[in-house]
Structure 1
Amino acid sequence: MKHYAIAVIAGDGIGPEVMEQGLHVLRTLERVHGGISFETTAFDWNCRYYLRHGMMMPADGLEILKDFDAILLGAIGSPDVPDHISVWELILPIRRTFQQYVNLRPIKLLRGLASPLRGKGHEQLDFVVVRENTEGEYSNMGGRLHSGTPYELAVQNSVFTRFGIERVVRYAFSLAAGAGKRRLAVATKSNGINYTMPFWDEVVLELSRDYPRIETRLYHIDALAAAFVERPEQFEVVVASNLFGDILTDLGAALVGGLGLAPSGNINPEKRYPSMFEPIHGSAPDIAGKGIANPLAQIWSISMMLDHLGHRDLGRLVLDSIEDVLLKGEVRTPDIGGTATTREMGEAIARQLESNA
């Protein structure tokens, strides 16, 4: 029996609703497999916790999490707590402390769904974005001066280190090589950002010499965003800095049906620390409690967790079950043209998984 300890942070808004269905599918997988078990431990660290305690998690929260095999996150955010508090005091400390320097996001049109892009189907929309996740434009460096006066100013520093660039870009090259891909697209803006981006480009081109069979192409971010829309079929693996990767992956999610269909993994490739898997749709307070949120991205994130833990067959089983339900078209949440509830969607995927196992 293979055993895994999983930390569960359901979070805010629709987070607990989609997490419930994700765990339902995970329990179904556990039951039909018979040789794998998941011990889940739930933590109530969210914006309500902040309003009670003045912090997003206990002072020893990271110490508590460090020995888990993986972390499942639902969603964080509430109108009652500014985003720079909820994100910067929970999500970013986890990513940085546990060296989750890869944010892995598939841009994949699932079978059974249609893209808003005319004439682009499943074969044209199937690639992955590797986003740097611990430094770059989202570095916690800068400050404000002369607040509340006519001289008020704010400075936000971007931090790019050779170490940080090398490890995420090498991961992207290795991912491409291991999957038999031939092309790596690299986001830059060295024609407008004249220090960090030329440095990024130089490190990328140095590393490309170690992967001569992979075609490496640098794109200015504005041109790359346009190419995502016009020619998505040309992409296999894309690597980008923290900010550029964030923007590109939200655009990519829109191309394949919306944020409700977008999973992600915050990966520590060396597995020295736990990695964290989450949907990227946010807490969606406008629909929280209505029972209509799409749990698909949460369930797909669990598929990515299984891949990371070394069970690619089980990850594939979960993803196939999602696609089989979508192909039937009988159970769909409102965001993808149906009337099903969150629970009905989760139960349909669990039943399909039982049938496929």
Structure 2
Amino acid sequence: MTKRYSIAAIPGDGIGKEVVPAGLAVLRAAAARAGGFALDVTEYPWGSDFYRATGRMMPEDGTATLRKHDAILFGAVGDPDLPDDLTLWGLRLAICQGFDQYANIRPIRLFPGIASPLVGADAAALDWVIVRENSEGEYAGHGGRAHRGLPEEVATETSIFTRTGVARIMRVAFRLAESRPRKHLIIVTKSNAQRHGMVLWDEIAAEVAKEFPAVRTERVLVDAMAARMVLKPRSIDTVVATNLHADILSDLAGALAGGLGLAPTANLNPERHAPSMFEPIHGSAFDIMGKGIANPIGTFWSGAMMLDHLGEPAAALMITDAIARVTAAGLLTADLGGKATTAEVTAAVIAAIEGRNL
């Protein structure tokens, strides 16, 4: 009997409208080749254009609408003519926080045929997973502004660290590290300067570590971690960091692996009380919108992560193996130094999934 998965597709803004259709085509090809399951896709036209028409980034009942789906494939959010905080909090963060998608998983891999900016880096040097706390920390949205426009104007942005929030992301990170061959977890902190929330972060990490004796841990300050990613990439395997720290470090990691166009994200509700959301991290990139040159690989890889989450690892592997075949063949978009279009890369990845010549 064929299993059917209900997928919500939200292309969003900018090149999201180009890479999400490409991602869906690749997902359908993998489903057809793997057999045994099918994807029922519903597309939602939410984002900045929707805001201009309605005054909202998504309908008031948007999360209730999405809850019926098994997973969400998201493109990008952001518009140069609208405030970034309006677009981000109105759509992407509304979904992440509304569904308590507290574990953000960002794998890093150097695909064949792609050169890293790091001299001498190879696939063994760049094989990491960054686990980002995705619900609180520096992006909790707690704070405010007073005396607007006056000389004494003040703004506060309060980081929030709860015992529950820190403990649960640590357990996700430790389980992931334990599942990987090296069983090594780096806990990123800044507790030398941030002596309340980050000290709690460190203390809870040490407590949770006792539950995972097979995992070797290190505690590394975030600035030292940035340097280590560049200078000693082979010393890194699994990393856990706060919302802000992991956001920055994972973008650096994506650049080291060839570019942000390659990088995927899974926003997980690990307990599966609500759907999880999968997206590339490259943003809306209005400067290349409509040119047909956006790199769709980050979306393909995000789709593979979605299939794995749904319980279809064989189909997920088909996609990542196909990506590797295509990059090894030198079929690359402009951001990677190539001349291929979005459509050409998409067609090549589908051909590789189907076992055809590129």
Correspondence list, 1:109-258, <5 A:
109-258=110-259
Cα distance per residue 1:44-70 (max 9 Å; x no partner) = 001010011111000100000011000
1:337 aligned partner, one-letter code: G
Q: How far apart, CA to CA, are the structure 2 residues paired with 1:239 and 1:142?
A: 25
The aligned residue for residue 284 of structure 2 is 283
Correspondence list, 1:45-64, <5 A:
45-64=46-65
The aligned residue for residue 337 of structure 1 is 337
Structure 1 window deviating more from structure 2 (218-227 vs 108-117): it is: 108-117
How big is the shift at 1:182?
A: 2.1
Give the alignment's TM-score, normalised by structure 2: 0.98
Equivalent pair of 2:106/2:129 in contact (CA under 8 Å): yes
Q: What SS does the aligned partner of 1:299 have?
A: helix
Q: What SS does the aligned partner of 2:137 have?
A: coil
How big is the shift at 1:352?
A: 0.5
Structure 1 window deviating more from structure 2 (25-34 vs 311-320): it is: 25-34
Equivalent pair of 2:31/2:315 in contact (CA under 8 Å): no
Matched, 1:28 2:53: no
Q: How far apart, CA to CA, are the structure 1 residues paired with 2:245 and 2:336?
A: 27
The aligned residue for residue 75 of structure 1 is 76
The aligned residue for residue 346 of structure 1 is 346
Cα distance per residue 1:196-246 (max 9 Å; x no partner) = 111100000011111112111100000011001111111111000000010
How big is the shift at 1:34?
A: 2.9
The aligned residue for residue 101 of structure 1 is 102
Cα distance per residue 1:184-203 (max 9 Å; x no partner) = 00110011111111110000
How big is the shift at 1:326?
A: 0.8
Q: How far apart, CA to CA, are the structure 1 residues paired with 2:332 and 2:98?
A: 38
Q: What SS does the aligned partner of 1:139 have?
A: strand
1:196 aligned partner, one-letter code: G
Cα distance per residue 1:50-101 (max 9 Å; x no partner) = 0111110001000000110000001111112111001011111111111110
Equivalent pair of 2:178/2:184 in contact (CA under 8 Å): no
Q: What SS does the aligned partner of 2:140 have?
A: coil
Q: How far apart, CA to CA, are the structure 2 residues paired with 1:327 and 1:167?
A: 38
Q: How far apart, CA to CA, are the structure 2 residues paired with 1:279 and 1:249?
A: 12
1:243 aligned partner, one-letter code: L
Matched, 1:326 2:327: yes
Give the alignment's TM-score, normalised by structure 1: 0.98
CA RMSD of aligned residues (A): 1.1
Q: How far apart, CA to CA, are the structure 2 residues paired with 1:307 and 1:49?
A: 31
Correspondence list, 1:293-304, <5 A:
293-304=294-305
Matched, 1:43 2:44: yes
Q: What SS does the aligned partner of 2:185 have?
A: strand
How big is the shift at 1:127?
A: 0.8
Q: How far apart, CA to CA, are the structure 2 residues paired with 1:199 and 1:34?
A: 47
How big is the shift at 1:107?
A: 1.4
Q: What SS does the aligned partner of 2:63 have?
A: helix
1:342 aligned partner, one-letter code: T
For structure 2, list consecutive stretches of 5 or more residues without a partner in the other structure.
Answer: none
Q: What SS does the aligned partner of 1:78 have?
A: coil
Structure 1 window deviating more from structure 2 (335-344 vs 30-39): it is: 30-39
Cα distance per residue 1:86-142 (max 9 Å; x no partner) = 101111111111111000001111122111100111111001000000000001111
Identity fraction in percent: 48
The aligned residue for residue 66 of structure 1 is 67
Q: How far apart, CA to CA, are the structure 1 residues paired with 2:100 and 2:179?
A: 22
